[in-house]
Structure 1
Amino acid sequence: MPSSVLIAYGTANGSTARIAETIARVLREEGLSATAVPARCVPDVGAYDAVVVGGGLYAGRWHKDARRFVRRHAGGLAGRPLWLFSSGPLDTSASERNIPPVPGVRRVMVRFGAQEHITFGGCLEEGAQGFVARRIVSSGRGGDFRDFAEIEAWAGRIATRLAGEPKAG
């Protein structure tokens, strides 16, 4: 059974970081060693038995740090159990239906045989950085659309799946 899980994430305003931290917490509660780390800060994936990569969605693309992480660690990701998540819709659509991965994330799924991808609602609130983000918030279209019960349930499914996997290596 894999025992060490990396949750690497790309975020602009911290919303995706909170999702990653929630996933790590649930995995730890299920008896796994799990660490949430900004994708740009991960030097190597070799110490981990499984990897979860998440990124905020911006203009139909995963956050640049998530994209760069996958490219930089392609060799280490091959053959490891891998899950992907996106965060971004600023409405309830992610809780109402399955939102397929954007094309770049779909390519990552195929290339590495990812176990699963899920899209969670996003969060954009007062104090967001970036011109576009501030405009969205000031127009009243921001808010917190993350469903933490859904995030926790997804993390629980990962833990269950990992309980049946042989240790990587």
Structure 2
Amino acid sequence: MGKKVLVAYGTTNGSTERIAEEVAGVLRTEGLTAEALAARSVTDLDPYDAVLVGGALYAGRWHRDARRFVRRHRAALIGRPVWFFSSGPLDATASERDIPPVPGVKRAMATLDVNDHVTFGGCLSDGAKGRMARMILRSGKGGDFRDFAAVKSWATEVAEQIRGAPRS
């Protein structure tokens, strides 16, 4: 059986969940056992050989569930292969250039010796929760800027690295 991988995510309106599910699907296609779970629902990392954590970006911060996941599981993440991803820009910038991690994510990456971080475009569509989301939509700045070809490419690279990584 292949290595077992957790893709934990923090999302409010489901956009980051969809990216996490796509990543887990690619990992499975690449011969790994992978599951995407809401970060707040994960209680134990012992079954996993590697962990990917994704969070939606809101006002320059990672989703609170992703931040809390990293804090709660810090000890279990240290020494395990870990990757981070963010989703959020509501424009094409994530497809045009590398977007560095926001400061809180950058600090967590250094503490945990995270292998990589990538930022994908976000998605905000009608019916989104939250006052700020509704304001953005009213201003006409919503839309779907997720690039699933880029998600698949990144997930394939991560799978190659995981297959080569020893279990902690």
* Alignment TM-score, normalising by the size of structure 1: 0.97
Amino acid at match of 2:25: R
Amino-acid identity (%): 62
Question: Unaligned regions of 5+ residues in structure 2, if any?
Answer: none
Q: Does 1:164 align with 2:148?
A: no
Contact kept in structure 2, 1:2 and 1:167, CA below 8 Å: no
Report the counterpart of residue 70 of structure 1 in structure 2. 70
Give CA deviations for 1:34-56 in whole Å, capped at 9, x if unaligned. Answer: 01000000011111000000000
Amino acid at match of 1:39: A
Amino acid at match of 2:10: G
Following superposition of structure 1 onto structure 2, how do residues 70-149 of structure 1 map, counting pairs within 5 Å? 70-149=70-149
Contact kept in structure 2, 1:2 and 1:162, CA below 8 Å: no
Report the counterpart of residue 151 of structure 1 in structure 2. 151
* Alignment TM-score, normalising by the size of structure 2: 0.98
Q: Does 1:15 align with 2:15?
A: yes
Question: Unaligned regions of 5+ residues in structure 1, if any?
Answer: none
CA RMSD of aligned residues (A): 1.1
Which runs of at least 4 in structure 1 moved beyond 2 Å after TM superposition? none
Amino acid at match of 1:159: A
Contact kept in structure 1, 2:2 and 2:31, CA below 8 Å: no
Instruction: Give the SS at the match of 1:40.
Output: helix
Amino acid at match of 1:160: E
Give CA deviations for 1:53-108 in whole Å, capped at 9, x if unaligned. Answer: 00000000000000000000011101000000000000000000000000000011
Contact kept in structure 1, 2:13 and 2:129, CA below 8 Å: yes
The number of residue pairs the alignment matches comes to 168
Contact kept in structure 1, 2:55 and 2:66, CA below 8 Å: yes
Amino acid at match of 1:106: K
Q: How far apart are residue 167 of structure 1 and its match?
A: 2.0
Report the counterpart of residue 48 of structure 2 in structure 1. 48
Q: How far apart are residue 2 of structure 1 and its match?
A: 6.7
